[in-house]
């Protein structure tokens, strides 16, 4: 149980284009989903928290107009990197939580490696 | 001072050794503590989840939380080459639906 998938697992795009990454909870309903970015040999940096049906809460320093997050259902959240630049190249990981008392665990997706050329 | 401190290693041990991984934290409001294992180019996998102080055991893994010292540990007994990965501690203040604060991760290498 508690499986989270991400698609695509790897994407290369040209500078200036947009890329959409999907995060799905496969066997549970995720009230809350989180998006992280991880650079090589670094820890996970939280980008934003999204609750189903409401606007995402972005961490300080994360441009909400550049990283568009949509959490339209209890099993799907999407992250769109708009007008991507080479410095956006990173490993993007989502996690999902049931968001109920006693079930605070977060389960992570396998990650999406984005390379912007 | 960062909220969560974790020695990045690397830590190298022979197969069968007992491994001790640790994190310290500064915020006494943290109540939920987790350990994740992350293989290269993969998402983190939840290993252990504990609430408040105490010990929790699951197979070869034991998690300890000492809130008075703001110190958490993960012990791995009879370590195997397949345990070679990066281990991340994580913690949060509240229950459901709150973001985790991660340590930098400790890279472990178990040689056969």
- Mean pLDDT score across all residues of chain A: 91
pLDDT in tens, chain B (112 residues): 678 999 888 999 999 999 999 999 999 989 889 999 999 888 999 999 888 888 999 999 999 999 999 999 999 999 999 999 999 999 988 765 677 889 989 999 999 9
DSSP state of A42: -
The dihedral region occupied by A86, where left means phi > 0, alpha psi between -120 and 50, and beta the remainder, is: alpha
Number of H helices, E strands in chain A: 0, 11
Name chain B contacts of A99, Cβ cutoff 8 Å.
Answer: 96-97
Over residues A17-39, the mean pLDDT reads 93
**Residue contacts between A and B (CB atoms, under 8 Å):** 68
Q: Do A110 and B42 touch (CB under 8 A)?
A: yes
Interface test with B, best of A26, A60, A89, A104 (most B CBs within 10 A): A104
Q: CB-based contact (8 Å) between B40 and chain A?
A: no
> Could you tell me how far CA B78 lies from the centroid of its own chain?
17
Pick from A43, A97, A102: which is nearest to B103 by CB? A43
3-state secondary structure chain B: CCCEECCCCCEEEECCCCEEEEEEECCCCCCEEEEEEECCCCCCEEEEEEECCEEEEECCEEEEEECCCCEEEEEECCCCHHHCEEEEEEEECCCCCCCCEECCCEEEEEEC
DSSP state of A59: P
Percent of chain A residues topping a pLDDT of 70: 94
Name chain B contacts of A93, Cβ cutoff 8 Å.
Answer: 43-44
């Amino acid at each position: 149980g508690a499986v989270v998938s991400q698609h695509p697992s790897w994407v290369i795009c040209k500078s200036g284009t947009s890329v959409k990454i999907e995060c799905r909870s496969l066997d549970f309903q995720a009230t809350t989903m989180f998006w992280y970015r991880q650079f090589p040999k670094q820890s996970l940096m939280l980008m934003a928290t999204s609750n189903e049906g409401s606007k995402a809460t972005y961490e300080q320093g994360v441009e909400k107009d550049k990283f568009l997050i949509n959490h339209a259902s209890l099993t799907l959240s999407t992250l769109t990197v708009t007008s991507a630049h080479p410095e956006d190249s990173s490993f993007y990981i989502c996690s999902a939580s049931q968001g109920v008392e006693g079930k605070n665990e977060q389960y992570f997706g396998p990650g999406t490696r984005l390379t912007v050329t | 001072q960062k909220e969560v401190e974790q020695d990045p290693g690397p830590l190298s041990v022979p197969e069968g050794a007992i491994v001790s991984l640790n994190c310290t934290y500064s915020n006494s409001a943290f109540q939920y503590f987790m350990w994740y294992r992350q293989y290269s180019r993969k998402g983190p996998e939840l290993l252990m989840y504990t609430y408040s102080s105490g010990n929790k055991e699951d197979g070869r893994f034991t998690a300890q939380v000492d809130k008075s010292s703001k110190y958490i540990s993960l012990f791995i007994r009879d370590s195997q080459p397949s345990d070679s990965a990066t281990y991340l501690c994580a913690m949060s203040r509240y229950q459901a639906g709150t973001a985790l604060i991660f340590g930098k991760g400790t890279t472990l290498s178990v040689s056969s």
